[in-house]
Structure 1
Amino acid sequence: MDQKTIEKYLKGTISTREREDVMAWIEKEEKNKKEFLELRKLHDISIWNTEYIPDKKIKRHSTVNVLWRVAAVFLVLLSLGLSYLLVSDKESQMAVKTVTCPQGQRLELVLSDGTKVWLNSNSILSFQNNKKENTRIVELDGEAYFEVTPDKKNPFIVQTEMYDITVLGTSFNVFSYQKSGLFECSLIEGAVSLQDKSQTVDMRLQPNEKVRLSNGTLIRSSIDPDENFLWKVGIYSFKNQPLSDVFAHLSLLHEVSIELKNPQIGAQMCTGKFRNKDGIEHILLTLQKNYQFSFTKEEDTHTYIIY
């Protein structure tokens, strides 16, 4: 796989066709996956560590010189197998950074204010990487778990397709893949407020509460934090959820299409846990043993038909 294409994937500037090519290359062989993870590690370190270089040590460079220096450091690190990289391009700190977590993977990040973020499979996080700025705003397409560094003067805001979540310092989980019609926000510690884009909704959550969008209405319920966020260690856990919701989650996490032909199948309530690394077909076969349905796969469209 061409390294420039992988870099475009990591920066979030890749086309849909190129993204599919990268994903196919990663899944083809184990050595490809290891190579990709090493490149992603280098890329992420170059993002997260820029603001920790003291200003007095930063020298002014032209854009061309900076690019050549970064490229040279990357080559040295790749040849020696090192895992750390500091990039001192001060002018680039104002740029919006985008981090993409590939299908079947999970990614742990530390933002410039110390906030910890766990990204789930097929999730995208965008933010401004500048510690000196007072705003703490990130954009999420997918699922992420946040442990926010307290700062009463500067609230931390997570913007999603349908809702914005505002916090001061807390631990919470957000599930919001664009165009999926699904939204969930779960609070573990602290307090969060939830607003829609038209500002007609303003809901506050208490610890161990979850709000879920169902048929256009936000529904509040209690949660067991020990069970709800096992995805951080690669386990998909669900309790008393309609099978249709489970299929929808699996579709997003494994980047496949799942078509449910019989609504009665989707209405069945189910509880269970799966390891994401087992793959979509293993999960469907396991569910099939406990719930009455059959499925076929259309290879050309990566679509599973449930009937």
Structure 2
Amino acid sequence: MNRERIIAIVAQARAGQATDEELQELADALDRDADGSVTSAMEESLQQGRQQIALPGREKADRMLADILETGQVLEDPGEEAETPAVIAPLKPGWKRYGRAVAAAAAILLLAGATYFLLRQSPRPEEAPVAGTNPLAPAAEGLPAGKKAVLTLANGATVMLDEQHNDTITRQGNTSIVKKEDGRLAYQPGNAAATGLALRNKVSTPRGGQYQVDLADGSRVWLNAASSLLFPVDFSGHERVVELDGEAYFEVAPDNSRPFMVKAGQTTVQVLGTHFSVSAYSDETLQKTTLLEGKIKVLAGNTGYQLQPGQQVVFDKIRAGSKLVPQANTEEAVAWKNGYFQFSGADATVLLREISRWYNIEVVFNGIPAGYELSGKIDRSIRLSSIVTALREGGVHCTLEDNRLIVNK
């Protein structure tokens, strides 16, 4: 495939006129791109395209494409645009050698106007639809999660936050609990001294929900789907302790006199003021603590660590052991907070459980799809039906029936 042909196909894709056969031709060329000449030609075509009149909505996509080709990752959010289909591209084992080629393959899908999701697997025979089943039943279109959570007060009373008006919900001790205009929950301490009462509240997100909470000390917490945070109404003691079940991202307000502690399963995190993520779902084998900014101390099981930015501690509940990842993929660790599913060589079952929590569906495994390694990035705002279609086209044998995603080996 010569350079002129590569440039021509990329130009066609930017104009929305490339055929499936042309995109496959470009993907095949990338598979053989040992010297980087194909990727280089794609970069040249992008530069030429930028000098021409861009189609509506292409500007942000072109910037994302440039990031992918140059760095191997998307550095910019495409913003609010019309929903595009998710695409799964089967990658041959040899592609593991070419990091930029894999990124460029993602760029092809981006050029075609698709959210990209790359699936690395062995070739599999095409699956025929099962007679009498509808893989995409209309009743199971599947809308993505929204801002939904339940607030449990110290006296046991509950408040459905998504149904609550933007205003002061109640007052506990000297702290006002307010739902802000942007939907987040804020704990605002009064001028009076703390009562000293150990009042604790809990915010719980359901499957298909997420929420943001501003704690009384100024710390901010983002809760992922199917998660809960138990915390004091005000922090009157010598330390600030919260308990997490599920996944959350923390931006902790600095306070050298009162360390902030997160207890999550077999992991305890101690900080003074920093940004970090904790994933500790009860149905996942691995618990992960990832540091983005500052310093934290992590006790994983019986082993202690002091993390620097970009590092991660992983605790394996089955093996009852932990390890330090010195150069973690921090973008992947907080992708959910930024509106994406993102995986690098992840087991298919991990992604499917994440999908089940986000879309509030049940995943039924009739045989684990062994040997599937997933890499890619999907906008979490698209409908479940788009993701299921992409999974099937990529070789994952699954059907969507009512509120269940059935996966067959």
TM-score range, shorter chain: 0.5 to 0.7
User: Does residue 242 of the first structure (1) align with residue 347 of the second (2)?
Assistant: yes
Partner in structure 2 of residue 144 of structure 1:
248
Could you say what secondary structure the match of 2:336 adopts?
helix
1:104·1:122 contact (CA, 8 Å) conserved in 2?
yes
Partner in structure 1 of residue 186 of structure 2:
48
2:396·2:407 contact (CA, 8 Å) conserved in 1?
no
How far is 1:92 from its partner? Answer: 9.6
Rounded Cα–Cα distance in structure 2 between residues aligned with 1:289 and 1:161: 37
- Pick one of 365, 373, 377 that aligns with 1:273: 377
How far is 1:115 from its partner? Answer: 1.1
How far is 1:42 from its partner? Answer: 5.1
Which runs of structure 2 are paired with 1:13-162 in the superposition (5 Å)? 36-39=162-165, 43=169, 45=178, 48-51=186-189, 53-55=190-192, 94-162=198-266
Rounded Cα–Cα distance in structure 2 between residues aligned with 1:109 and 1:158: 15
Read off the aligned partner of 1:306 and give its amino acid letter.
Answer: N
Partner in structure 1 of residue 314 of structure 2:
212
Change (3 A) 1:175 1:49: closer
Superposed structure 1 runs of 4+ greater than 6 Å apart = none
Read off the aligned partner of 1:275 and give its amino acid letter.
Answer: D
> Structure 1: which 5+ residue stretches go unaligned?
1-7, 23-34, 57-89
1:177·1:252 contact (CA, 8 Å) conserved in 2?
no
Rounded Cα–Cα distance in structure 2 between residues aligned with 1:209 and 1:37: 39
Larger Rg: 2
Rounded Cα–Cα distance in structure 1 between residues aligned with 2:234 and 2:324: 35
2:398·2:405 contact (CA, 8 Å) conserved in 1?
no
How far is 1:234 from its partner? Answer: 2.2
How far is 1:177 from its partner? Answer: 1.7
Rounded Cα–Cα distance in structure 2 between residues aligned with 1:201 and 1:190: 20
Rounded Cα–Cα distance in structure 2 between residues aligned with 1:194 and 1:177: 17
- Pick one of 163, 174, 179 that aligns with 2:267: 163
Could you say what secondary structure the match of 2:337 adopts?
helix
Deviations 1:96-147 (A, max 9, x none): 1111223333322221111111111221111011133322000111111111
1:172·1:186 contact (CA, 8 Å) conserved in 2?
yes
How far is 1:230 from its partner? Answer: 2.6
- Pick one of 336, 351, 354 that aligns with 1:231: 336
Q: Percent of pairs identical after alignment?
A: 24
Rounded Cα–Cα distance in structure 2 between residues aligned with 1:135 and 1:14: 26
Deviations 1:243-295 (A, max 9, x none): 122123223333433233334x24311112223232444323223322x2211
Rounded Cα–Cα distance in structure 2 between residues aligned with 1:41 and 1:206: 39
Change (3 A) 1:95 1:40: farther
Deviations 1:25-81 (A, max 9, x none): xxxxxxxxxx93544875451673441x2229xxxxxxxxxxxxxxxxxxxxxxxxx
Read off the aligned partner of 2:152 and give its amino acid letter.
Answer: K
1:173·1:186 contact (CA, 8 Å) conserved in 2?
yes
Change (3 A) 1:144 1:9: closer
Partner in structure 2 of residue 25 of structure 1:
none
Change (3 A) 1:212 1:250: farther
RMSD: 3.3
Partner in structure 2 of residue 203 of structure 1:
305
Partner in structure 1 of residue 19 of structure 2:
none
